[in-house]
Amino acid sequence: MPENNAETATDLLLDHDSEFGDDEDGLAPIELNLTSEVCGQRLDKVISHLVPQFSRGRLQMWITDGYVTVDGKVAKSTKDTVYGDEKIVILPQAAPEDEAFKPEPIPLNIVYEDEHLIVINKPAGLVVHPGNGNWSGTLLNGLLYHCPQLAGVPRAGIVHRLDKDTSGLMVVGKTLPAQTDLVRQLAARTVKREYFALVWGTPRLNGTIDASMGRHPKDRIKMAISTNFSAKPAITHYQVLASGELDRRPVSLVQCRLETGRTHQIRVHMMSIGFSLVGDVMYGKQHLASVFPRQALQARRLGLVHPATGEQCEWLVPLAEDFAELIAKAGIAEPEQV
């Protein structure tokens, strides 16, 4: 190799073969011809440097799964040493997240729709937005199928979420101006969001929980009451509507009104004062999980200012069938739709 070579290190190490066509997944194989510049380095380190458009983690997965060959032989390990004269071929594989934002014919329970917004009664079990372990079959996928124009709106118009196992009302902006206006209303805390929750125990008749929240310090999947500088304000107003009994244990039907909308807010706030939700195995009584297969929580009422007309709008839905059966089992009558 000439001592005074103006080519970059990548130019010296990388030689793509343009004769390769797309594979059946539409991802073209990548061919690398290595030189002595990389002698003694790990295989995964070398190819992650040469193919920066893919994360090292994804490249390591392809090596492990047999989609990388070295001189025509399947690579044995991410830790294999290269000597600088090898020919590497990578067969890129589509990642689940690459398919996340695609329309899917998922049934939607639409409570209201016009040219500006959609109000949906989300069933328990439906994930709102694609993410780890749920790259398809989400509410977002269903929205894109129902309303193709949402492909041009960030997050397909979604402005707030409900947990997978929480049922109830959500609003979606069908246009960018509508979505922006709804986000501003949420930030200004003017959106009315009222929930029903069935909790273990008997709280005092009403109260306000004003406790900031952040990620749990030891379990990043969970949320927790926090005084950390990164914690966000969270305020929940609650009122006990009725009391009953499940498995000889007292339970209460509680109406919760949110001022803020933090992840798991009602679940964490009610647990923090000693009254965890029935069925909530993440924050509640795991030994009583068989009583109900999800957290007993429903977004029952939603009120907001229409982003186009300025009209005050409100929607109300009855309890989901499984929730209604649960409170009936506890000897509690479903409150009237008022």
Closest listed residue to residue 128, CA positions, set 94, 90, 160: 160
Query: In 3D, which of 301, 273, 294, 271 has the Cα closest to residue 284?
Result: 271
Catalytic residue among 11, 65, 163, 210: 163
Q: Which residue in 85, 108, 91, 80 sits closest to 30, CA to CA?
A: 91
Q: Is 294 helix (H, G, I), strand (E, B) or coil?
A: coil
Let me know if 187 is exposed, middle or buried by CB neighbors in 10 A (0-12, 13-18, 19+). exposed
Q: Which residues of 257-276 are buried (b: 16+ CB within 10 A; e: fewer)?
A: bbbbbbebbbbbbbbbbebb
Buried b (16+ CB within 10 A) or exposed e, 82-112: beeebebbbbbeeeeeeebbebeebebeebe
User: Catalytic: 219?
Assistant: no
Q: Which residues contact 320 (CB under 8 A, 6 or more apart)?
A: 123, 124, 167, 168, 298
Q: Mind telling me the catalytic residues? A: 163
